Amino acid sequence: MKKIVEMALGVVTSVGGFLEIGSITTAAQAGALFGFRLTWAVALGGLCVMFLVEQSGRLAAVSRHTIPDAIRERFGLRYFLLLLVVIALVSLLVLSAEIGGVCVALEFVTGVGYRWWTPLVAVAVWLIIWKGTFSVIEQGVSALGLVTVCFVVGAWALHPRWAAVAAGLLPTRPDHDAARYWFIAVSILGASITPCLMFFYSSGAVEDEWDETYLNANRVIAAGGMGFGSVISAAVLVVAALVFLPRGVRVEHYAELAPLLTDAFGRWGVRLVAAALGVACLGAALEITLALAYMVAQGFGWNWSENQRPKAEARFSLTYTAVVALGALLIGVGPDPLKLTVSSMALTAATLPLAIVPFLFLMNDEHYVGRHVNGRLSNAVVLFVVALAFVLAVVTIPLQIFGGS
Amino acid sequence: MDLVRDCLDKQLVDRRGRKMGRVDGIVLAWEPGAQPRVVGIEVGAVTQAARLHPRLGAWLARFVRRRGRAQADPYRIPWAKVTPTGNDVTVGVEAERTPALAWERWLREHVIGRIPGA
Amino acid sequence: MARQEIHVELLLSRRVLALNGRPVGRLEEVRAELRRGECFVIEYLIGTYALFERLAAWRVGRELLKVFGARRRHGGYRVPWDKLDLSDPTRPRLRCPVTELAPLEEGEA
C-alpha cells in the first residue's frame, strides 16, 4: 500500500519536474506557428527522457549513488568540473527563466510588471528550500502542480481534429520558416531532455532512501511521470494551435500567452494560465536550484540533504543560496524572459553530449547497477540520445542565429 | 585492487558515516630500488588544482602556504586509516576534527549559522 | 637518490615511452595489492584496455571496438612495477623492451 501511494506521488512529482516554463513556452510557440506539426518533438523528447530518468533512478536505487556521484567517481575530477561548469551556466539561465515565469504569472493576475516581483519570488524560493524538507517540497509542489491538467481539459474542450494531432506524431518537413521550425524542435527537445531533471531525480531517490525493492516503482514513476508530462505539453501545443495559429499570434512575448485558455474557460482562462505557469515554474525553480547545489555537493563529496538543517551542511546551504541569488539577478537586470527561456532550452540541448555519454558507461557498470545493467533496448535508447545530442549540439548555434527569432 | 577504479575520486566517509570530501589524490612513495607503496590519500583544493593544471596547483599551494594553512590543505590521510569499500572509501577518523571540514566549520560559524532558522 | 614520492592522479593519461623513445600507450591504471596492512604497487596498466579497466567499461568498450574497426592486436600492456622508470613522472619510460611485457587480457565483466 505504502508503495502504491509513493508511486502515485512520484508520478505526480515527476510530472512537476518535467513541466516547466521551457516545455510550456516551446510547446505554445510550436502550436502557434506550425499547428500540430511539431507534436512529434514533444513525444520524442518525452520518450527519451523517460528512459534516462528510469536509468537515473535505477542507478540510485541499486548503488545509493547519484548520477553526479558516479560521474565524478568514474570520469574523474576534470570531466566532472567541465560538466559542472557547462551545466551550471545553462542551468542558471534556465533558473532565471523559471523565476521570470513565476513573475510573469504574477503579472497576469495583478497587472504589476514582472520585474518588480523578482526579489520577492527569489526570496520565496530560497525560504522554501531553507525551511522545507525534501518531502515538503516534493509533495507540496506536486499537489499544486495538478493545476496544469487544465491544459489537457482545455485541449479536450476545444474539440481538435484528433486525426490531425496524431498525424503530427510523424516528423514532416515544414512548409514555411524552416529554420524557425527546426529551432523550435531543438528547443522542445532541450526543454524535455534536461540533465538537471535526471540528476535531481537520482538525488531524490537517494533522499527518499530507495533500494532495490523500488526498481518497479521507479519504472512506473519514470514512465508515468514523463508520460503525463508529455501529454500536458502536447495539450499546450494543441491549444496553442487552435487558439493562436488562426489569429496569427506568434508568442514572442509572455503577455501573448495569457489568453491561451480563454476560448476554453472564458474569463477563468487567464487565471488558470497564470496558476499553471506560476506553479510549474516555481516547482522547476526549486528543482533546478536544488539540482545544482546537489551536483556541486556530490561532486566534491560534501554532506548534502534537503532533510538536514542548513547549519549541518553549511557549504551546501551556501551553494543554493548563491544559485538563487545569481538566477534572480540575471532575470532582474537581464533580457526579455521569453527570449531567455527559448535560448536556454536550445542551449540545454547543446550540453547534452557531455551529460548523456556517461550514462552509456555507468548503466553498464556492474559496480553500480549490479545485475540490473541496461538491456539492449535501454542501451539503444541511450545511444540514440547520444547521437541526437551530438546533432543538436552542432545545429543549435546556427539555428539560434537563423531561427532564433 | 585498481587504484584509479577503486579508490581515486571516491566518496570519503568518516567512521561515523559523515561525508568528508573525495579522494582527490593518491600518493605513492618508494626508497630507491624498492617496491612503491601507497602512503596515503589527499583531500583538498590544492590537490584538485594540481590535477587541472600544474601551474594552478603550484600557485594555489603558494597561496595556502602564505596564509599559514599548508598543514590543512592538502590534508593527507595515512593509508593505515583508509579502507576502500566498493564504491566508497571509509576513513578511521572523526571528520569534524579534521582539516577536511575546515571550510564547512568556518562557514557554519561565521555565515550560515548566523542566518535565522539555520 | 632519496625517497621518491608521486601522485597517481598526475600519472594518468601520460604517454609511456619505450626504450627507443617511441610512445607505447597511455598509463591509465595502477594495480596494487594489500599485504600486511600496506598497499604495494604491483603493476601499471597501459593502453586502450587499461582505460576500459579504469572506467570499468569492458562491456561497452568491447562493443565500441567492434564498431570502430577491427580488434587491435595490442589492446594494452601490464608493466611490472620495477619495469617502469618514474624518475621523471611527466615522462614515464619503460626499462625493458615492449616485447617482454605481458599483454593486458580482456576483462570478464
A252-287: pLDDT as tens digits: 888 899 999 999 999 999 999 999 999 999 999 999
User: What CA–CA distance (Å, rounded) separates C46 from C26?
Assistant: 5
Beta bridge partners of B91: B82
Whether chain A has a CB inside 8 Å of the CB on C64: the answer is no
Q: Nearest-CA residue of chain C relative to A366?
A: C109
> With contact defined as beta carbons under 8 Å apart, do B20 and B41 qualify?
no
User: What CA–CA distance (Å, rounded) separates A68 from A55?
Assistant: 13
- Residues in B touching A362 (Cβ below 8 Å): none
Q: Give the per-residue SS3 of chain A.
A: CHHHHHHHHHHHHHHHHHCCHHHHHHHHHHHHHHCCCCHHHHHHHHHHHHHHHHHHHHHHHHHCCCHHHHHHHHHHHHHHHHHHHHHHHHHHHHHHHHHHHHHHHHHHHHCCCHHHHHHHHHHHHHHHHHHCCHHHHHHHHHHHHHHHHHHHHHHHHCCCCHHHHHHCCCCCCCCCCHHHHHHHHHHHHHHHCCHHHHHHHHHHHHHCCCCHHHHHHHHHHHHHHHHHHHHHHHHHHHHHHHHCCCCCCCCCCHHHHHHHHHHHHHHHHHHHHHHHHHHHHHHHHHHHHHHHHHHHHHHHCCCCCCCCCHHHHHHHHHHHHHHHHHHHHHHHHCCCHHHHHHHHHHHHHHHHHHHHHHHHHHCCCHHHHCCCCCCHHHHHHHHHHHHHHHHHHHHHHHHHHHHCC
Of B2, B24, B39, the CB nearest to C54: B2
Mean of per-residue pLDDT scores for chain B: 93
Chain A nearest-CA distance from B22, in A, is 5
Phi, psi dihedrals of residue C16, rounded to the nearest 5° = -95, 130
Phi, psi dihedrals of residue B10, rounded to the nearest 5° = -80, 160
User: What CA–CA distance (Å, rounded) separates C22 from C29?
Assistant: 20
Supply the pLDDT for residue A328. 93
C108 has pLDDT over 60 = no
Whether residue A367 and residue C12 make contact (CB cut-off 8 A), yes or no, is: no
B88-91 and B11-13 beta bridge pairing: parallel
Of C9, C12, C56, the CB nearest to A365: C56
Separation in Å, CA B74 to CA A79, A297, B6, B20, C109: 21, 19, 21, 13, 35
> With contact defined as beta carbons under 8 Å apart, do A168 and A35 qualify?
yes
| Residue-wise pLDDT tens digits, C44-90 | 999 988 998 899 888 888 777 777 765 555 688 999 999 999 999 89
Of A76, A364, A367, the CB nearest to C60: A364
Beta bridge partners of B22: B11
3-class DSSP assignment, residue B9? coil
Supply the pLDDT for residue C109. 43
- Residues in B touching A317 (Cβ below 8 Å): 112, 118
User: What CA–CA distance (Å, rounded) separates A312 from A25?
Assistant: 39
In angstroms and rounded to an integer, the radius of gyration of the C-alpha atoms of chain C is: 14
Beta bridge partners of C32: C41
Cell of A332: 532582474
Whether residue A74 and residue C56 make contact (CB cut-off 8 A), yes or no, is: yes
Phi, psi dihedrals of residue C78, rounded to the nearest 5° = -105, 125
- Residues in A touching B113 (Cβ below 8 Å): 311, 314
Whether residue B52 and residue A77 make contact (CB cut-off 8 A), yes or no, is: yes
What integer is the mean pLDDT of C13-25?
Answer: 93
Of C29, C34, C40, the CB nearest to B5: C29
| Residue-wise pLDDT tens digits, A201-252 | 999 999 989 999 999 999 999 999 999 999 999 999 999 999 999 999 999 8
The DSSP line for B15-28 is TTS-EEEE--EEEE
Supply the pLDDT for residue C30. 97
**Burial class for A211, CB neighbours closer than 10 Å (0-12, 13-18, 19+):** exposed
Q: C80 Cβ partners below 8 Å, 6+ apart?
A: C42, C43
Give the N- to C-terminal CA distance of chain A in Å, as an integer: 50
Chain A nearest-CA distance from B95, in A, is 11
Residue whose C-alpha cell reads 586502450 in the numeric block: C48
Supply the pLDDT for residue B118. 80
Chain B nearest-CA distance from A307, in A, is 12
3-class DSSP assignment, residue B80? helix
pTM of the model: 0.94
**Burial class for A223, CB neighbours closer than 10 Å (0-12, 13-18, 19+):** middle
User: What CA–CA distance (Å, rounded) separates C16 from C27?
Assistant: 6
Subunits adjacent to chain C (3 or more Cβ pairs under 8 Å): A, B
Whether residue B4 and residue C54 make contact (CB cut-off 8 A), yes or no, is: yes
- Residues in A touching B12 (Cβ below 8 Å): 301
Least confident of A151-155, A346-350, B86-90, C27-31: A346-350
Supply the pLDDT for residue A403. 75
Mean pLDDT, 10 residues at a time, chain A of 405 residues: 78 80 93 96 96 97 97 97 96 93 92 91 95 85 85 95 95 90 93 92 93 95 93 96 95 90 93 93 92 96 89 94 94 80 85 94 95 94 93 85 73
3-class DSSP assignment, residue C42? strand
Q: Nearest-CA residue of chain A relative to C59?
A: A364
Phi, psi dihedrals of residue A160, rounded to the nearest 5° = -70, 160
Supply the pLDDT for residue A181. 94
As for the ipTM of the complex, it is: 0.95
Cell of A225: 511521470
Cα maximum dimension of chain C: 48
Q: Which of A308, A253, B39 is nearest to C3 (CA)?
A: B39
User: What CA–CA distance (Å, rounded) separates C104 from C78?
Assistant: 6
Q: A1 Cβ partners below 8 Å, 6+ apart?
A: none
User: What CA–CA distance (Å, rounded) separates A118 from A112?
Assistant: 11
Whether residue A310 and residue B9 make contact (CB cut-off 8 A), yes or no, is: no
Phi, psi dihedrals of residue A215, rounded to the nearest 5° = -60, -40
Of C5, C8, C34, the CB nearest to B8: C8
Q: How many residues are present in chain A?
A: 405
Supply the pLDDT for residue B41. 96
Q: B74 Cβ partners below 8 Å, 6+ apart?
A: B24, B25, B42, B43, B44, B45, B46, B47
Cell of C58: 569492458
Chain A nearest-CA distance from C97, in A, is 31
